[in-house]
Amino acid sequence: MDELAAAAALDPNLPPPPIEPTAETPPRTVPDLFHAGPMAPIANPYPVYARARRGAPVIELLPGASYFVSRYDDVVAVLRDHERYSSRSNTDRGIGIVIGRTLIGMDGGEHLKHRGLITPSLAPRALRGAFPGIVDAIAHAVIDSFASRGATDLAAEFTYLYPLRVFTEILGLPPENVKTFHDWATDLSRVACDPGRGFAAVKLMTDALAPLVEQKRARPRNDLISELATANLEGERLSDDEVISFLFLLVMAGAETTYHLLGSALLAMLCDPALLAAVRADRSRIAAVLEETLRWDAPIQIVSRMAIDDVEIAGTRIARGCDLVLGIGSANRDETRFPDPDRFDIGRRGESHLAFGLGRHYCAGSRLAILEATVAINALLDRFAELRLDPRSRPPRVTGMAFRGPDHLRVCLS
């Protein structure tokens, strides 16, 4: 353990990434990061990851049970190898314990069959036509609630509410319940550190969704809940519990990923006036800002797989049945793939980030997330010519490990 600790120790010569300050007492090893908990407000895990990549690219988290994988090539190899690595860990020991069996815990034909249920509603062709206009109207409606005040916290009043408000449009959820559903989704994602609150959210969300599922079965409409409730999978329908588990996953995905992506992208621009001015002048640069945000500070930092057979990764032997925690955030800062990886640079070319995963489990909602974030940034820039960080407030910082995003975005609007 001493050797691993030394290999993963914080390198005092490694500069912190721009914008984001280090924590007052930063964890010094990868196991320390996980000991702090997946929702701990860790400001800067990246120096720890960098040291791990250089000295101990596979680190044992629990003896003979789970391992952290930090290098880009190793993470890619696991994500691509569906024969030797299973997603079942997400059902058996991950969030599936709370939300039930869903896509993220399925393999092979079962996964493809169930993924086919939601993909049409989230595919690029479904996001054209009138849909971008609907998303734009939602963005402006949320902005209207604070636009006249002169100052606001965009994290609390915009990025937290807007993405799930868009998702309620797709799902057919009551729009007036957006904040409540997001609060429940946040509690679900934190079940590891607060089980009581997580399981209470399961009960509350189930009680709210069950009548909706029953209603959509009886009177289907043009929304995703109706499609799930009436779907025919090789002669079988999804049970109410299966539909609700799908909805748990979709609400969590709609709530957490775009919320943090949008917040981190806005923070990057607000902390760099030249970048903000360049994007304001040429909105086509928004795409590059979002891609670099996904690489530089991915909203979801880790994903899980289980070894189906005995395997070896970077010289470390891993027994069948062990969990692999894949460091997406670490892989996206791998210096062998991304030169000067701690620098936010919208002009990057070359390797693709892994923020949306890879292979069969590549995020089905990735295009929707990009569309939402693009529309939101355009709307804010259109509405507020003087948008800037509030100098009276403590500077925001990106925090978290499993999920990362700004702790606040207090801004002046005029």
**How far is Cα 397 from Cα 170, in angstroms, rounded to an integer?**
31
220: DSSP letter? -
pLDDT digits (tens, 9 = 90+) for 170-195: 888 877 778 888 888 888 777 666 77
| Mean pLDDT over the full length of the chain | 84
Residue bearing the bigger pLDDT, 186 or 296: 296
- CATH topology assigned to domain 2-412: Cytochrome p450 (1.10.630)
- Work out the average pLDDT over 108-131: 68
Parallel, antiparallel or unpaired: strands 302-307 and 236-237: unpaired
**How far is Cα 167 from Cα 173, in angstroms, rounded to an integer?**
8
The confidence score (pLDDT) of residue 363 equals 78
Q: Residue 294 above 50 pLDDT? A: yes
Domain layout of the chain by residue ranges: 2-412
pLDDT digits (tens, 9 = 90+) for 368-388: 889 999 999 999 999 999 999
Parallel, antiparallel or unpaired: strands 316-318 and 311-313: antiparallel
Distance of CA 386 to the CA centre of its chain: 29
**How far is Cα 388 from Cα 136, in angstroms, rounded to an integer?**
22
Hey, what are 50's tokens?
């960098």
Q: Residue 152 above 60 pLDDT? A: yes
Burial code (b: 16+ CB inside 10 Å, e: under 16) for 351-385 equals eebbbbbbebbebbbebbbbbbbbbbbebbbeebe
